[in-house]
Amino acid sequence: MADDDLPKRATVHDVARAAGVSLATVDRVLNGRPGVRPETAERVAAAIGTLDFRRDLSASLLARSRDLTVTFLIPRGHNAFMERLADAVRRQGRGLARARVRLDVVDVPPFDGRALADALDALQPRDCDCAVVVAPDDRWAHAGIERTSRRGVAVVTLVSDVPGSARRAFVGIDNVAAGRTAASLLGRFCHEGAIGLIAGSQALQDHAERIAGFREVLAAEFPTIAIAGPLEGRDDDRLTGDRLAELLDRYPRLAGLYSVGAGTAGLVAGLAVLPDARRPRVVVHELTDASRGGLRTGLVDVVLDQHPDREVAAAIGVARALAGDPNARIRPEPIELGVYLRDNLAGAESAGGERE
């Protein structure tokens, strides 16, 4: 059979006994509350270490009659991907409600570190254990994350990282690898000429990383192909359409196009009016109605997807781990980059859960 040994998890009682203190004291050091002499705290910490004690999160929530609450701050413009992300949060929130986990969604204006910081500052530890943010990499965001962490609300970055900030973890795809993949595909598709780049904003870490990865592979493996841009469409459909028009104006024979951010609907609309002969090979990000449509009609060749539902699940996992031990070093589960051609779109569409 397969019955293993049960190493009998250590409890607060065990720790208290080992450290020669009471439960209350253990609890105090466990939760970093004041009122413990440093040397006592040291003894307790030692006991925790040797016993390999880890607090039982469920029991903790039960005792506090409190839910683990995770707040997702999501930039909302007219961005289909962010809608998908918010949907994923709401859907998983329903399932987790009965497991003492509460998921909140807060809308924040896109590309606005200051507004994000304001939203973060509104979060109090008494009604939010962990904030999950899709943030620009600017100084306001840095400062907001810093303050929020200090206040006792853990911060996790999602989709786009804010490196060097006080965020406890980043959950998302390897964006450099995504850019490399795009270059590897477009490089093979286009034998000469120029490939246009349209990003949302280079202030976004994810977009910047994708562009870096793209440049890298193109320079190394396809040195004869030039790069046009990057232009910035601010993840907006209309602006992205405008950028495409400019690009085609300047490069009438554009061989390829890598759309690094959102605004795909505008992009596809712009491509649709081109004569066949002028149509570039196109790689875009995120499975949405617009990108699926593009794949089917042949206007888009490849869609790279970051599986927002898995990202949400991973972020919740991080929040749990952090709630169990605020000092834990976190290794979020990596998120797989989805690569979809028209031919394997069926597989993605048969997936459950995703709507609209």
Closest to DNA by CB, 8 vs 150, is: 8
* 16-40 core/surface letters (b: 16 or more CB in 10 A; e: else): bebbebeeebbbbbbeeeeebeeee
Q: Which residues, 203 to 262, sit near a second copy by CB under 8 A?
A: none
Read out DSSP for 157-179?
EESS--TTSS-SEEES--HHHHH
Closest CB 295 distance from a second copy, rounded Å: 13
Which of DNA, a second copy, none binds 339 (CB below 5-8 Å, type-dependent)? a second copy
Closest to DNA by CB, 46 vs 59, is: 59
> Binding of a second copy at residue 77 (CB under 8 A)?
no
Which of DNA, a second copy, none binds 267 (CB below 5-8 Å, type-dependent)? none
At residue 192's C-alpha, the angle toward residues 190 and 195, to 5°, is: 65
Which of DNA, a second copy, none binds 35 (CB below 5-8 Å, type-dependent)? DNA
Measure the CA–CA gap between 97 and 297, rounded to whole angstroms.
41
Measure the CA–CA gap between 91 and 294, rounded to whole angstroms.
27
Which of a second copy, DNA, none binds 242 (CB below 5-8 Å, type-dependent)? none
**Measuring CA to CA, which residue among 72, 70, 73, 51 is closest to residue 61?**
70
Which of DNA, a second copy, none binds 11 (CB below 5-8 Å, type-dependent)? DNA
> Binding of a second copy at residue 71 (CB under 8 A)?
yes
Tokens for 14, please give them.
Answer: 């065990």
- Site residue total, a second copy (CB under 8 A): 46
Closest to DNA by CB, 54 vs 188, is: 54
Closest CB 338 distance from a second copy, rounded Å: 6
Considering only 62, 219, 245, 272, the residue that binds a second copy (CB under 8 A) is: 62
Considering only 2, 34, 94, 249, the residue that binds a second copy (CB under 8 A) is: 2
**Measuring CA to CA, which residue among 318, 327, 324, 337 is closest to residue 171?**
318
Which of DNA, a second copy, none binds 99 (CB below 5-8 Å, type-dependent)? a second copy
- Asked if residues 66 and 250 have their Cβ atoms less than 8 Å apart, the reply is no
Closest CB 340 distance from a second copy, rounded Å: 7
Closest CB 52 distance from DNA, rounded Å: 12
Closest to a second copy by CB, 36 vs 260, is: 260
Q: What Å distances lie between residue 164 and 18, 142, 157, 168, 170, CA to CA?
A: 38, 8, 12, 10, 11
- Asked if residues 43 and 34 have their Cβ atoms less than 8 Å apart, the reply is no
Q: What Å distances lie between residue 207 and 18, 136, 149, 154, 290, CA to CA?
A: 51, 10, 25, 25, 20
Provide the Cα torsion 68, 69, 74, 80; round to 10°: 60
Residues that bind DNA (CB under 7 A): 9, 11-13, 20-28, 30-31, 34-37, 40-41, 53-56, 59-60, 62-65
> Binding of a second copy at residue 98 (CB under 8 A)?
yes
Rg (CA), the chain: 24
> Binding of a second copy at residue 51 (CB under 8 A)?
no
**Measuring CA to CA, which residue among 250, 342, 305 is closest to residue 81?**
305
Considering only 83, 112, 174, 216, the residue that binds a second copy (CB under 8 A) is: 174
Helix (H) or strand (E) holding 148: helix 139-151
Q: Which residues, 269 to 328, sit near a second copy by CB under 8 A?
A: 304, 324
Q: Give the binding site for a second copy (CB under 8 A).
A: 1-4, 9, 54, 56-59, 61-62, 71, 98-100, 104-106, 122, 127, 174, 177, 181, 184-185, 304, 324, 333-341, 343-344, 346-348, 350-353
